């Protein structure tokens, strides 16, 4: 087959954080597939067809990309951040596993990107400098009971944590519950940072203690980073030492 599929990460927002490898793939593509706001980050050009879709049809989007590639098209599936972190790479391989055997012969590549979690951590200093866990707080694809179980387990074992999709309009109460779990497991003096729209003109960074945190500090454009018992401030920075106490 002459077509190919590349799953690419567009980074957290600033075009300077899109890797040259991803830029080259986009320039070579005949078709681009992705969630509406991510597709619209790429300017139209002659020879490129943009296929926009909703954020809850990941498997359909992945299958569409694979079908086009099997027809000889050069397809880039775009995600924000890194495509392997709560994004489209996993969905594409799930569609590949359940699709026609011929798709296994396609040229498929995954190109890394800078995640919102890592961009936020860099702005803060080094809050993820030791062991950490990344948890998606959305219950669209898994039950809230499982999220709460993982949240409590990570907190009780001393991981620093990064949370994606912390609080939406449809589930504002869940992040309040998450803060209660964190206070009980980590203690109220543990540092929590809210990094919103990192690397864009709307960027804002706030660090408080868990006792000071309120749910309204987070929305769906916010990455939340919670330290462990060793995480501390030095000047305007937050960091977690490489050695655990």
pLDDT at residue 1 above 60?
A: no
Q: Tens digits of per-residue pLDDT, 119-168?
A: 999 999 999 999 999 999 988 889 999 999 999 999 999 999 999 999 87
Instruction: State the DSSP code for 81.
Output: B
Domain ranges for the chain: 4-114, 117-239
Q: Where does 4-114 sit in CATH, by number? A: 3.40.1010.10
DSSP codes of every residue in 97-140 = HHS-GGGGGSEEEEE----HHHHHHHHHEETTSSSEEEEE---S
pLDDT number for residue 245: 61
Q: Do domains 4-114 and 117-239 have the same CATH topology?
A: no
- Sequence-separated (6 or more) residues with CB below 8 Å from residue 41: 10, 78
Q: Tens digits of per-residue pLDDT, 155-176?
A: 999 999 999 999 877 777 889 9
Q: What is the rounded average pLDDT for all residues in the chain?
A: 93
User: Binning pLDDT at 50, 70 and 90, where does residue 2 land?
Assistant: confident
Q: Tens digits of per-residue pLDDT, 7-51?
A: 999 999 899 999 999 999 999 999 999 999 999 999 999 999 999
CA angle 150, 60, 164 (to 5 degrees): 30
Q: Tens digits of per-residue pLDDT, 205-238?
A: 999 999 999 999 999 899 999 999 999 999 999 9
Q: How far are the Cα atoms of 17, 144, 145, 242 from residue 219, in angstroms, in the given order?
A: 23, 17, 20, 30
State the architecture of 117-239 in CATH terms. Answer: 2-Layer Sandwich (3.30)
């Amino acid at each position: 087959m002459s077509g190919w599929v590349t799953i690419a990460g567009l980074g957290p927002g600033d075009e300077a954080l899109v890797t040259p490898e991803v830029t080259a793939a986009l320039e070579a593509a005949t078709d681009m597939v992705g969630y509406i706001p991510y597709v619209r980050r790429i300017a139209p050009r002659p020879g490129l067809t943009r296929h926009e879709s909703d954020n809850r049809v990941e498997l359909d989007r992945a299958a569409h990309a694979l079908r086009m590639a099997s027809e000889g098209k050069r397809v880039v599936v775009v995600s924000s951040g890194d495509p392997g972190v709560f994004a489209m790479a996993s969905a594409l391989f799930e569609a590949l596993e359940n699709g026609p055997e011929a798709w296994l012969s396609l040229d498929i590549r995954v190109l890394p990107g800078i995640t919102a979690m890592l961009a936020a951590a860099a702005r803060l200093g080094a809050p993820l400098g030791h062991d950490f866990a990344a948890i998606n707080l959305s219950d669209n694809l898994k039950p809230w009971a499982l999220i709460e179980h993982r949240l409590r387990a990570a907190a009780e074992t001393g991981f620093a944590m990064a949370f994606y999709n912390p609080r939406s309009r449809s589930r504002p109460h869940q992040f309040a519950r998450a803060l209660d779990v964190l206070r009980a497991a980590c203690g109220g003096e543990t540092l929590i940072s809210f990094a919103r729209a990192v690397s864009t003109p709307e960027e804002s960074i706030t660090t408080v203690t868990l006792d000071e945190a309120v749910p309204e500090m987070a929305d769906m454009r916010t990455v939340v980073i919670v330290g462990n018992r060793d995480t501390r401030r030095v000047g305007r920075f937050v960091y977690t030492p490489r050695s655990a106490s």
